[in-house]
Amino acid sequence: MMARPRLLLSSLVLGAGLVAAVLTMPLATAAERAVVIPPPAVDAKAEGGTAKAVFAGGCFWGVQGVFQHVAGVKNAVSGYAGGSRETASYETVSSGTTGHAESVEVTYDPAKVSYGQLLQVFFSVAHNPTELNYQGPDHGTQYRSEIFAVTPEQEKVARAYVAQLDKAGVFPEKVVTKVSGLRGFYPAEAYHQDFLTLNPTYPYIVYNDLPKIGNLKSLFQGLYAEKPALVSQARG
């Protein structure tokens, strides 16, 4: 198992110059290139109020950061899904034995962004859905690609989209993303929340996650929100 380095932020500040360089370098240099994919042929019905969706796609820092910049998203919380409440802590989940995956719970306005659009961002920008039980430098089942459907309709839409993407052959390998019903979502520790925004010069973020924000802005201009929907603001 390979996990992210511990949070020694005071000794790992790189400066704004390197951040700017990463954001302007070719997309495939610092992180995997995003894949342009078609929207889902089947989408969930738009309803009033708010809805929730839960996605797992490697380190939750980057997945959270991406969805926080999607217009119509009211909140995106890093946490754990797939296991029990008793084992929902970073140290325990990092063992890879709990059944949990690092996940992000997205609260969104279906009138502004659909579940299908969130799925499109998830598959195209937020992670690589062809990597089995790992994402980039992070290895273990806790970094797997999985969609935790909150409703039967979400499960139907997600399964149909996985089949659609595989049939279209938009990825060089088969999509390995699991689709399952959500049994519970447990928010991660406070220091994991808003990590990308609060630590833009942290090396892991610079090399692995900031390019995802650039990809989102480039490929989904109509969905991109410059100001992130932060957990700290939602709580305040």
Q: If DSSP codes are grouped into helix, strand and coil, which group holds residue 103?
A: strand
| Residue 59 appears among annotated catalytic residues | yes
Residue 74 and residue 67: Cα distance in Å, rounded? Answer: 10
Q: How many helices (H) and strands (E) does the chain have?
A: 10, 8
Measured at the CA of 66, the angle between CA 142 and CA 165, to 5 degrees, comes to 75
Residue 190 DSSP one-character state: G
Listed in sequence order, the residues at least 6 apart from 129 whose beta carbon sits closer than 8 Å to its beta carbon are 57, 122, 123, 145, 165, 171, 175, 176, 177
Q: Which of 30, 44, 51, 59 is catalytic?
A: 59
Q: If DSSP codes are grouped into helix, strand and coil, which group holds residue 51?
A: strand
Residues identified as active-site: 59
